[in-house]
Amino acid sequence: MASLPNGAAATGSSGAPAVDKEVDFANYFCTYAYLYHQKEMLCDRVRMDAYHSAVFRNAPHFRGKVVLDVGTGSGILAIWSAQAGARKVYAVEATDMAEHARELARANGVADIVEVIQGTVEDVVLPEKVDVIISEWMGYFLLRESMFDSVICARDRWLKPDGVMYPSHARMWLAPIRTGLGDKKMEDFDIAMDDWNLFVEDTQAYYGVNMNALTKAYRSENEKYYLKSSIWNNLHPNQVIGQAAVIKEIDCLTATVDDIREVRAQVMLPISLDEARLAALAGWFDVHFRGSKQNPAVEEVELNTAPNERGGTHWGQQVFLLKPPLKVTRGDSVKVSFSMVRSKENHRLMDMEFTYELHEFSGKQHPAITTKMYLE
């Protein structure tokens, strides 16, 4: 997740409230200004191999062209674009990481091609339109961090009518899984509440103040943290107990901010194991580099963050615990209604709601259960 300029999320045709840029920078961008965070992403071989292959296997999209790298971070995508033959690369970076990107461009002999611009893509002014926009904007479960907003803004401002986006398409997936994470989180929650109860007793005994009036609020905080927040995990494929389903498809060339402000879907997830405990749903994404209809890629490349035997990516998967879990068998299906909207408190975080109901192979249909979750 490269560091991206802020802005497009601040306003939209649907009239979303404005985002305070200073607060947003303090809460979000500062993380990406550190090399340790950039290194984490640069060590993700799946991520790196996909972008490297996308650029160099499709060099005709870059050779002699003008490229805009939105949220360049360390500058590696801009450097690759130059090495693939780009005539000019504008590398936009909101944070002080911009200076490191300039240094890397000089060290790799492409400083005459790569121009690093520190600022937000909503505010910078380029001297020309671009043929290619490249960006690594994807967050957890694709849309967390709302980074795609800035890419949309860059596209609408600077991409030529026949230009291409790297990546060009994206999909969000949902699947039924088995996991012991729910039991562990419940244990952690119980420990936290036991500790609070001891604290209440001690405060009463030693200081004569009854803190029990705050127990309900403390319980609510911990329920959200331990039981209602999605969990980052690198799942093994054998934890997926049924068929995954696409819940959102995005064409990066045409998508608008309103298209991604809310995601709603209803899917059926068939169970494929003879007997299993459906403890959670897992979400992940893939993106594709296929150019456009009028300017297709030489070779389509995919970056997939699905459960992987080799450990997957730094994005991992997001696990959404189901309470209560369900006993399922082969032939059963789980009907899931899903919604994900941006948090009112922080537009880069997501509030979600799942309604799930078990349809047994025998024809019996169980009552629907609704649970709220948070992607933070």
Look at residue 54 and tell me if it is in a domain: yes
- The CATH number of the domain where 162 resides is what? 3.40.50.150
Task: Please indicate, yes or no, whether residues 267 and 360 belong to a single structural domain of this protein.
Answer: yes
Average pLDDT score over residue span 208-212: 97
First-to-last C-alpha distance (Å) of the chain: 15
pLDDT digits (tens, 9 = 90+) for 301-347: 999 999 998 878 999 999 999 988 999 999 999 999 999 999 998 88
Cα torsion 304, 306, 311, 312: sign:
positive
Q: What whole-number distance in Å separates Cα of residue 183 and Cα of residue 22?
A: 40
Domain encompassing residue 348: 172-178+231-375
Look at residue 267 and tell me if it is in a domain: yes
What's CA 274's distance to the chain center, in Å? 32
pLDDT score for 18 = 60
Banded model confidence at residue 7, pLDDT cuts 50, 70, 90: very low
Look at residue 335 and tell me if it is in a domain: yes
Q: Give the tokens for residue 48.
A: 């790196």
Look at residue 129 and tell me if it is in a domain: yes
Task: Please indicate, yes or no, whether residues 51 and 145 belong to a single structural domain of this protein.
Answer: yes
Task: Please indicate, yes or no, whether residues 76 and 188 belong to a single structural domain of this protein.
Answer: no
Q: How many CA atoms lie within 13 A of 222 on its CB side?
A: 18
Average pLDDT taken over every residue of the chain? 92
Task: Please indicate, yes or no, whether residues 277 and 148 belong to a single structural domain of this protein.
Answer: no
Q: What whole-number distance in Å separates Cα of residue 201 and Cα of residue 5?
A: 49
Residues facing residue 184 across a β-bridge: none
Structure-token match 């993380």, residue found: 31
Identify residue 343 by its one-letter amino acid code: S
Residue 208, CA distances (Å) to 204, 211, 212, 215 in order: 5, 10, 12, 17
pLDDT score for 14 = 43
More confident residue, 66 or 13: 66
Look at residue 61 and tell me if it is in a domain: yes
Q: What whole-number distance in Å separates Cα of residue 237 and Cα of residue 240?
A: 6
Task: Please indicate, yes or no, whether residues 235 and 288 belong to a single structural domain of this protein.
Answer: yes
Look at residue 190 and tell me if it is in a domain: yes
Annotated catalytic residues are: 136, 145
Q: Is the predicted pLDDT of residue 150 greater than 50, yes or no? A: yes
Judge whether 61 and 328 are in contact, CB under 8 Å: no
Banded model confidence at residue 4, pLDDT cuts 50, 70, 90: very low
pTM of the entire predicted model: 0.90
Look at residue 1 and tell me if it is in a domain: no
Judge whether 160 and 127 are in contact, CB under 8 Å: no
Task: Please indicate, yes or no, whether residues 325 and 260 belong to a single structural domain of this protein.
Answer: yes
Read off φ and ψ for residue 350, nearest 5 degrees. -130, 140
More confident residue, 105 or 4: 105
Look at residue 325 and tell me if it is in a domain: yes
What's CA 147's distance to the chain center, in Å? 9
Task: Please indicate, yes or no, whether residues 298 and 330 belong to a single structural domain of this protein.
Answer: yes
Nearest Cα residue to 350 out of 315, 306, 318: 318
Total domain count, the chain: 3
Average pLDDT score over residue span 232-236: 96
Task: Please indicate, yes or no, whether residues 85 and 133 belong to a single structural domain of this protein.
Answer: yes
Task: Please indicate, yes or no, whether residues 220 and 251 belong to a single structural domain of this protein.
Answer: no
- The CATH number of the domain where 267 resides is what? 2.70.160.11
- Helix or strand holding residue 359 (H, E): strand 350-359
Q: Is the predicted pLDDT of residue 62 greater than 50, yes or no? A: yes
pLDDT score for 38 = 83
Q: What whole-number distance in Å separates Cα of residue 286 and Cα of residue 306?
A: 8
